[in-house]
Chains A and B, each alone.
Chain A
């Protein structure tokens, strides 16, 4: 199991490094349209062929992976921080604050994510660059994805507040800040860590879902979601198996994240 985990982490590291150096590795710009060879089969110059507009699929995969792999952890960080803040405060203070936060959490969990994202996205300003649009998309994911984690954090914080060592600290006259800083946060960190790792593949898949609906990252910037849209027309795929490359990469990467996460969960 340890070997598998090391292999998964190594794979993630290689993919991450390759994508970070996409400018050097990619044979072409992700946006350049070779209009004379749209939908070309793989060749030496275009390792995964070209897409419908003649753009090099391999270059787009590298840049798309960079976008998804960089921004998904950023969104996961944002949602984990929100979960820590809201869930931690609710569990620590308790009473009306806990009831309010849990009510909001229930509301967020009950809402259909995808429709909410579509609605919120439609309200955003139109004239933003593709880079800003992708940042907004992932920021939205981060802002909307904290609820489940907040519940876990709140429950854990509540349990910690009732534990013997916290009661002892209280009885010894420790201040609220001292309790929070010295006892609560260090004990909540493993849970937050695990929540962070779990959220990454979830956000990658959510962006992919948005991309399939055409509501993901704006043209011409590629992302996994945008690249996966090529798989919509399944009747043509048997003749063009190289189109599965983004899907395979997504499955392998998400699997690697899960293998890596298992260890984090064990820490929690």
Chain B
């Protein structure tokens, strides 16, 4: 009896010790996303939650280092873009296996490119590779050699491969067989996604340890930002990838070491006037909005410093150009920031015949200057910015009516009916290359917000922007491209078809238990080096 008791105690001790060991080794990273991913197919990604899944699971040939903003080799050990910019050759890494054990080869890259460029798939990632009519040809020249030929040159071709997750041509598990650091182990719609460490991940640290350090990643689907913040404060999640200014300040007051401001991001807030000739606006208003002097004066009378300080609590900076200063290479550092000067604004307006009469600004025909600005309802920052611009413009005798609309109604007005006067919106930018903004800057572009889809450029300066943007798209020399893009930035600064207001900071919350974190301004700000992240002292550098 006594012997049995001792055996039982010993067994219990061994079991308890074993459980303790397994609990320590099962490190898990936890964070939240706002919604369910729309797709698990890496070729069809078009939303942020799906992009998160792709980033965690997808193996890419080249990866843009979010910190240095330079391309780095991943599954390709070397690459070369041809002189004419039409083709790219890769030398692939050897002895790499998908998460299910299927070997990786050049055939998988060819299969992925063929699937990506299949017009019937309608892949948003594939669209960025479509340079012109014709087929994309893949030439497998060896087990680890592949060349991809495009019908027309593509500017920044190699950078686009950061978005292409290689799929297996042979695995029965199809897109579930991955080359990235994690594979999807469990998914409960509306609740969570669970990723386990890819046992076949090819990367090792400098000490020869296989990456990633963290065993699993659990992503909870949590649409409410307040609840996400509360969960972070309770220690239930390890980071918040993107914080707004108020939450940042609240967190910084309570737990200063967890709040991180990575400085200005790529995102911009801007406003523009409706310059569509066929819009249902009175002729005199069309004339105001078409005048560069009028737009300049409005821009000069907006106190951007106040917008950044009051609306974004100092976590933003006045915008200078359509390219954010966070975009280290493409931003034109020579551009002078727009000054806030009411007197200069009134003088500029006077050149067009505007004059003050009893505190009201009137045009040369006596019309009181009054217009409306639309923005999307529910976005407090934009509503506050509009309210501040309203007061700024009131100081030079302009009456601004702020109208908040539900998003579908707003989009209908700015893209179909053109029944609006000015619009205040923000553009989220994920891509460093200005080529990604071709549809905004070409006068024929659908996203040429102030006057979209023009058959012929309406103004000489728009024709000049068209020429410069096409030049940069067809030029392979990065520095020559930069010169053209700089010129576009200067023209936009002079003509102000878009009045750039502020660039917000990229802010995040990071738990103290998370190691090797270096928050950056490019998405995904916190977990861009997911395979290097560690919890506690495991894998800490």
- The interface of chain A, by Cβ under 8 A from chain B, is 31, 33, 35, 38, 52-54, 118-119, 121-122, 126-130, 133, 213-215, 218-220, 229, 232-236
Contacts and interface: CB of A to CB of B under 8 A. Distances in A.
Range for the number of chain B residues in contact with chain A? 35 or more
29 contacts: A31-B391, A33-B387, A35-B306, A38-B310, A53-B310, A53-B384, A118-B406, A119-B409, A121-B405, A126-B374, A126-B403, A126-B420, A127-B370, A129-B401, A130-B401, A213-B378, A214-B380, A215-B377, A215-B404, A218-B403, A219-B386, A219-B390, A219-B402, A220-B390, A220-B391, A233-B226, A235-B226, A235-B229, A235-B230
B372 interface: yes
A134 B230 CA distance: 36
Nearest to A122: B409
A111 B399 CA distance: 36
Given A219-B387, A235-B250, A229 B380 contact: yes
B158 interface: no
B215 interface: no
A133 B372 CA distance: 12
A128 B391 CA distance: 17
Contacts of A213: 377-378
B508 to A, nearest CB: 17
B372 to A, nearest CB: 4
Nearest to A226: B383
A220 B406 contact: no
A54 B404 contact: no
A52 B386 CA distance: 13
Contacts of A121: 405
B371 interface: yes
Contacts, number: 80
Nearest to A52: B384
Most chain B beta-carbon contacts within 10 A, residue among A126, A129, A232: A126
Given A31-B391, A53-B384, A218 B377 contact: no
A215 B383 CA distance: 11
B246 A236 contact: yes
Most chain A beta-carbon contacts within 10 A, residue among B374, B387, B421: B387
Contacts of B399: 129
A229 B379 CA distance: 11
Contacts of A119: 409
Nearest to B376: A214
A229 B246 CA distance: 14
B372 A126 contact: yes
Nearest to A31: B391
- Top 5 A-B pairs, shortest CB-CB distance: A214-B377, A122-B409, A126-B372, A219-B402, A219-B387
Contacts of B310: 33, 35, 38, 52-54
Contacts of B379: 214
B262 interface: no
Interface of B: 226, 229-230, 246, 250, 306, 309-311, 370-372, 374, 377-380, 383-384, 386-388, 390-391, 399, 401-406, 409, 419-421
A130 B390 CA distance: 12
Contacts of B372: 126-127
Contacts of B230: 235
Contacts of A127: 370-372, 401, 421
A50 to B, nearest CB: 11
B156 to A, nearest CB: 38
A218 B384 CA distance: 12
A129 B306 CA distance: 25
A233 B243 CA distance: 13
A128 B405 contact: no
A129 B371 CA distance: 10
B384 to A, nearest CB: 6
A238 B387 CA distance: 27
A52 to B, nearest CB: 6
Contacts of B404: 214-215, 218
Contacts of A232: 380
B378 A126 contact: no
B246 A233 contact: yes
A236 B372 CA distance: 33
A39 to B, nearest CB: 8
Nearest to B225: A233
Given A38-B310, A219-B390, 8 more contacts: A33-B388, A35-B310, A52-B310, A127-B421, A214-B378, A215-B404, A233-B226, A236-B250
